[in-house]
């Protein structure tokens, strides 16, 4: 009996010690889990929608851990425009090193990344395919969730990484491939009020910059088309010398068209070349005045459509007065003349004006990573199933959310552009 009592006592002691060990282990496991939950998630973003190969790494606090980009701008500038097959080859050549450099710069390894976000739409199909293929590869070898990203959604939300912007808000996206106005309801809910019917503003600026041979002027030789147009316009002595008729002023919607501006500008250039017997690499004498007139015409058109979007929102009270905000993003948002004009419109219509930081306006991996963060935080569009991930494909065209274009048209809002005081005097 004594021996049994001794064994029972010994087993009780061992059990208590084991229980104590389990409790300690559970405490440690819970502490590790809590630490993991409290640690900011880290998202790696890949951008290859057009001609720049970008990789950015951002955490859920909005901290940019690294950013690497390979620009193809000078290559395509020499070729007279973006050549999709060449863009594709250059993406393939650089994407591995770009992502490796981004991880190295952040002092991270793939195992430290929580998810891979990649632009999958819209854009150049060949370019998108490179990013999507490589993004899925990283997701597969690292066993990471995959977050397909809509390029324009990324542009729309980038500013929330650097400053507080509450939903809903109005966004104007203007770039080389797009021009549109939309209400951003939340991370994955957008209502498009207007989009381009033909050319995008950045595309027009690029084409005119090439036609004007601005790259032959030393100070503009390394600039993108839009930047060269803006700088040339700032040197104008008579911005009213070339007349551009108002664009779609009688159409009571928020749609954009820039083909008329483009064709009128091309006609002026041809006339100047004939008048001054210009050929080859010579630039027309009135290049600065023509750039100014072009810029003014495009900006007035953009402002009028944006103003109507604001009046549509105000009329239907779609956004409360204290939250009415215009966010402008995309490559053309870097244009300071446009920003100043939009700020005047916002002041007149009771909207707060916010421009995405210029360095984040052009295509980049950071904006893709941040859109991944937004989706990760909201738990929207994060794919964890391997079979579903492998089925993700690139899409050349993709609308932004739900179309409210007809709804704006039906509202029949008459709109006269506010006076852009100080800009057009």
Burial-class residue 274 by CB neighbours within 10 Å (0-12, 13-18, 19+): exposed
Q: Any idea of the CA torsion for 218, 360, 163, 312, to the nearest 10 degrees?
A: 90
Contacts of residue 318, Cβ cutoff 8 Å, sequence gap at least 6: 168, 183, 312
pLDDT-above-90 percentage for the chain: 83
CATH architecture of the domain with range 169-356+402-411: 2-Layer Sandwich (3.30)
Q: How far apart are CA 148 and CA 408, in angstroms?
A: 30
Kindly report the pTM of this predicted structure.
0.89
257-266 exposure pattern, b = at least 16 Cβ within 10 A, e = fewer: bbebbbebbe
Residue range 240-273, pLDDT digits in tens: 999 999 998 889 999 999 999 999 999 999 999 9
| End-to-end CA separation in angstroms for the chain | 109
Q: Give the list of residues 6+ apart from residue 3 with CB closer than 8 angstroms, or none.
A: none
Predicted confidence (pLDDT) per residue in 66-119, tens digit: 999 998 887 887 887 789 999 999 999 999 999 999 999 999 999 999 999 999
With contact defined as beta carbons under 8 Å apart, do 386 and 140 qualify? yes
**Which residue spans of the chain are classified as CATH 3.30.420.40?**
42-162+363-390, 169-356+402-411
| pLDDT recorded at residue 250 | 86
pLDDT digits (tens, 9 = 90+) for 4-37: 443 344 434 443 454 344 444 444 444 444 445 5
Q: Choose which CATH entry (1.10.1840.10, 3.30.420.40, 1.10.3720.10, 3.40.50.1100) describes domain 42-162+363-390.
A: 3.30.420.40
């Amino acid at each position: 009996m004594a021996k049994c009592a001794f064994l029972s006592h010994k087993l009780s002691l061992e059990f208590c010690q084991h229980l104590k060990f389990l409790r300690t282990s559970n405490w440690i496991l819970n502490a590790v889990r809590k630490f993991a939950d409290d640690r900011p998630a880290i998202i790696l973003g890949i951008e290859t929608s057009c001609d720049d190969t970008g990789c950015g790494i951002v955490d859920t606090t909005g901290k940019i851990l690294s950013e690497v980009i390979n620009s193809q701008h000078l290559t395509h500038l020499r070729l007279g425009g973006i050549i999709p097959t060449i863009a594709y080859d250059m993406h393939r050549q650089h994407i591995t090193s770009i992502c490796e450099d981004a991880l190295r710069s952040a002092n991270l390894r793939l195992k430290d990344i929580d998810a891979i976000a990649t632009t999958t739409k819209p854009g150049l199909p060949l370019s998108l395919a490179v990013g999507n293929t490589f993004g899925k590869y990283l997701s597969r070898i690292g066993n990471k969730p995959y977050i397909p990203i809509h390029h324009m959604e990324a542009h729309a939300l980038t500013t929330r990484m650097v400053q507080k912007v509450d939903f809903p808000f109005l966004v104007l996206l203007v770039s080389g491939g797009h021009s549109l106005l939309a209400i951003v309801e939340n991370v994955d809910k957008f209502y498009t009020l207007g989009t381009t019917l033909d050319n995008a503003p950045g595309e027009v600026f690029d084409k005119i910059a090439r036609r004007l041979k601005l790259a032959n002027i030393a100070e503009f030789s390394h600039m993108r088309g839009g930047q060269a147009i803006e700088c040339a316009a700032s040197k104008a002595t008579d911005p009213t010398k070339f007349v551009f008729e108002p664009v779609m002023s009688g159409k009571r919607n928020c749609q954009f068209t820039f083909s008329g501006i483009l064709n009128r500008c091309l006609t002026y250039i041809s006339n100047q070349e004939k008048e001054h017997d210009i050929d080859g690499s010579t630039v027309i004498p009135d290049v600065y005045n023509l750039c100014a007139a072009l810029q003014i015409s495009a900006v007035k058109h953009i402002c009028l459509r944006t103003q109507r979007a604001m009046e549509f929102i105000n009329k239907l009270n779609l956004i409360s007065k204290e939250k009415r905000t215009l966010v402008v993003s995309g490559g053309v948002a870097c244009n300071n003349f446009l920003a100043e004009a939009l700020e005047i419109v916002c002041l007149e219509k009771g909207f707060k004006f916010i421009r995405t930081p210029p360095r984040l306006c052009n295509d980049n991996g950071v904006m893709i990573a941040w859109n991944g963060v937004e989706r990760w935080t909201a738990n929207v569009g994060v794919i964890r199933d391997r079979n579903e991930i492998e089925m993700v494909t690139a899409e050349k065209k993709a609308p932004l959310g739900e179309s409210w274009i007809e709804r704006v048209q039906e509202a029949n809002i008459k709109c006269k552009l506010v006076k852009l005081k100080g800009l057009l005097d």
